Amino acid sequence: MAKKIIITGATGFIGKKLCKALAERGDEVTIFTRSVESAKKDFPFIKNFVKWNYKNPDEWKFHIENKHAVVHLAGVNLFAKRWNEDFKKQIIESREHSTKNLVLSIKDCKNKPEVFVSASGVGYYGDSGDTFVAEESTKGNDFLSGVCEVWERESQKAGEYGIRSVQVRTGLVLSPEDGALKQMLPTFKFFVGGPLGNGKQWVSWLHIDDIVGSYIHAIDNQNLSGTVNAASPNPVKMKEFAKTLGRLLRRPSYFSVPEFVIRFSIGEAADVVLSGQRVDVTKILNSGYKFKFENLGEALNDLLK
C-alpha cells in the first residue's frame, strides 16, 4: 500500500535519490523546501511541494496531518564555508531548531505520522581509533559529536508522543555525483591521488543505494527504533580506500594529502576528514536490512562504471 511521506532536505544528494526511490515504488511524496519553484524543476515526478521555513511552523505544520512518515534530512552543509563560531552556530541551529519544530508539529497532529526518521552521522563517536563502535558506545568530544548529540536528542522526543523515531547515523556515502568521492576523483584522474592524512583512519563507507535503502528500511520496519548505524559491514582504512579507488581507476594512489595541507585548506572542518570511525552495524543487520554492496571494490566499481 502506498505511503504518504514528507521529506525535508530533498535537494541534497541523498534526498534526491530517496525521493526518486520512494516515488518509483508508488509512495506519495511531499517535499518541504525553501524554494518550491526550484524543487519542481529538480523533481518533475513529484506532485506535492510545501514552502518550508523551519523557523515558522505555522506555515507548514498542518501538512503533516495524515502522513505515514516524516523523513528529516535538512541541515546546513558542513562544508558550505570555513568554520568559524558564527557558522558553527548555524550548523547546530539548523539541525536543532528544525528538528524541534517538526517534532512539536507532529505532537499537535490529530492523526500523527507513524514514524519520524531523522539524519545523524557516525561523527557522533568522534575519532574512535581501531575500536568498533556500536549505537550504545559513548559520544566523542569534538564539535561534530556535539552536533549529532543535539540533533538526535530533539529527534528522540518524538517518542514522547507515541511516534516511532529513528536516528540514522550515516557513514561516508559514496556517489560520483557529490560528497567525498566526487572530490577525490579529479586527483586520481590527474595521477596525484592518494589517502587523506596519514591514511590510518577508519572509513565507514556505504554506497548511495544502501543509504537510500537504509532510510526506506527505517520507514517500513516497525521493529526498528532509536539510533542505528548505517554503513557497510566492512569498513576499511583510508589507505586501503585510496588503494582500491586507484586500482579501479588504473591510477597510482600514493600521493597522500598531508594533514597540515587539509587543515590549511578547510580549517577545523578537517576533523571530519581526518578522524575515523570503525562502525559496528549489527543492529541494522539484525533488523533485516541486506546491503546491496558490502565490499568496497564492488561498490566503487558500480559507481564508476
Give the pLDDT confidence of 126-183 residue by residue, as tens digits.
Answer: 999 999 999 999 999 999 999 999 999 999 999 999 999 999 999 999 999 988 899 8
Q: Tell me the percentage of the chain whose pLDDT exceeds 90.
A: 87
Q: Distance (Å, rounded) from C-alpha 266 to C-alpha 80?
A: 10
Domain assignment of residue 133, yes or no: yes
User: For 157-186, b where at least 16 C-beta lie within 10 A, e where not — what string?
Assistant: bbeeeebbbbbbbbbbbbbeebbbbeebbe
Domain assignment of residue 80, yes or no: yes
Residue 87 scores a pLDDT above 90: yes
Q: Distance (Å, rounded) from C-alpha 218 to C-alpha 243?
A: 33
User: What residue numbers bound the domain in which 109 lies?
Assistant: 4-171+207-231
Number of structural domains the chain divides into: 1
Domain assignment of residue 272, yes or no: no
Beta bridge partners of 278: 132
Give me the chain's average pLDDT, please: 95
Closest residue by Cα to residue 152 from 165, 138, 137, 140: 165
Residue 208 scores a pLDDT above 90: yes
Closest residue by Cα to residue 94 from 113, 76, 82, 121: 76
How far separated are the first and last CA of the chain, in Å rounded?
A: 34
Domain assignment of residue 285, yes or no: no
Domain assignment of residue 141, yes or no: yes
Three-class secondary structure of residue 72 per DSSP: strand
CB contact set of 68 (below 8 Å; sequence gap of 6+): 3, 4, 5, 113, 114, 115, 219
Closest residue by Cα to residue 296 from 245, 250, 246, 252: 245
Over the stretch 244-285, which tens digit does the pLDDT of each residue have?
Answer: 999 999 999 988 888 888 888 888 888 888 899 999 999 999
35 pLDDT band, cuts 50/70/90, is very high
Contact call for residues 209 and 269 (beta carbons, < 8 A): no
Q: Which long-range contacts (CB under 8 A, 24 or more apart) does 280-283 make?
A: 280/132, 280/133, 280/134, 280/229, 281/229, 281/230, 281/231, 281/232, 281/233, 282/134, 283/134, 283/135, 283/228, 283/229
Three-class secondary structure of residue 12 per DSSP: coil
Domain assignment of residue 121, yes or no: yes
Domain assignment of residue 257, yes or no: no
pLDDT at 207: 98
pLDDT at 189: 87
Residue 38 sits in a domain of what CATH number?
Answer: 3.40.50.720
Closest residue by Cα to residue 118 from 253, 250, 7: 7
Three-class secondary structure of residue 154 per DSSP: helix
pLDDT at 294: 97
Domain assignment of residue 281, yes or no: no
What pTM, to 2 d.p., does this model score?
A: 0.96
